[in-house]
Chain A
């Protein structure tokens, strides 16, 4: 999250050595989850690029066309974007207005950060429910040129909400410092 404060000024985390004893176990699980999601994102991103480029090659060089190129590349795109949103939370990519927050004391800043995470988690829970209903509703419909349910577009939103929820709850519980890594 954007207002993630630097390690030095953050409120001291709970527990003896900083974190509650259960944190390492949770961390292992969440990291495994993140890795699976990352692999899917990388594959979907590569497939999307490949699909769009192949369509150009097919059309221009082979004078033919891949019937499902449009919908399949959009499907990969949707999966890339929604699956990457939770990683954006982890790596503090989603931007916000920090004008007022900057003037708070580190302790209050951290408190506000956790509060904002709780609100964001509530939002994600609501989106999860919405995406669940939407997925069920859509399941009977097929993709335009493939015999696959069109519900899988909504599955990306579903995963996004659930995965984001986990990260936001962890932030709300343990503060802004749990992931030290940066994206670049």
Chain B
């Protein structure tokens, strides 16, 4: 009998945490109890950045987190964070499950990680306290908090906003006090971090599509027997398959909950979205200077197939 520790940084009721629970049940059943999984969701073993360090050095077997925490380990991940890249979640997973995903797996393996699969964090949407957003002119001068990621920052600069890099722990009070005008996140994160309490306007900008991912320590993974390795892979695949469907189902429910909690929802028209695309068309060019342009083209081709 062997114990595997799996860590996560999402709240208890998030589908990413449920992924961990399904993974545990499946692994233990498939290996007839040879492998026992201990779960540490909800930042019990520290934040996501620390969990990544723990997996890399093998203190923890695997994590379920967002790929944002791997973009500085495997910079190629930035290619799937380009603005307005995916028109649907099906397109997003077509890329991750196809040849591009294979390439990501190789890059992860080179850095000592086994990629166990991807799920949905969701389309990211802008909230703010100044005005409803319908076209890129509405972004003008808004102080929007973004994750520290160059593609993200470039995108909002291109839209005319004033992107601010700020620690997420400060964001709630910063928006309450007016230090920030707004921020962007998937509906479920806006709700679970309660940002709706301090934000008025919500639009379905869907400017980035964000993935959750599961990754294991390569050395620990390879120490498992072949059947155990297969059990781990299959269990996570099953968990992620469930998560993708459930997250898609839940997404609209989360949006409605935000509206019910008092946010004003302004949908983006097709013209508005076309306007956003035009404004941010240059972002891809600056990314091509940092990572292999062939990979970016492959991602774009696959995404728009």
Contacts and interface: CB of A to CB of B under 8 A. Distances in A.
A137 to B, nearest CB: 5
A67 B56 CA distance: 27
B57 A59 contact: no
A70 B53 contact: no
B72 A142 contact: yes
B56 A64 contact: no
B165 A69 contact: yes
A177 interface: no
A59 B179 CA distance: 9
Interface stretch (B18-26, B29-37, B146-154, B249-257): B146-154
Interface residues of A, number: 22
Contacts of A111: none
A138 B148 contact: no
For chain B, which range describes its interface: under 10, 10 to 19, 20 to 34, or 35 or more residues?
Answer: 20 to 34
Contacts of B179: 59
Contact of B162 (A63, A68, A144): A63
Contacts of B150: 67, 145
Interface string B61-92: 00000000000110100000000000000000
A147 to B, nearest CB: 9
Contact of B72 (A65, A133, A141): A141
18 contacts: A59-B179, A63-B141, A63-B143, A65-B165, A67-B150, A68-B148, A70-B148, A70-B166, A70-B167, A71-B148, A133-B57, A138-B56, A141-B72, A142-B72, A144-B72, A144-B148, A145-B150, A145-B153
Interface of B: 53, 56-57, 72-73, 75, 111, 141, 143, 148-150, 153, 162-167, 179
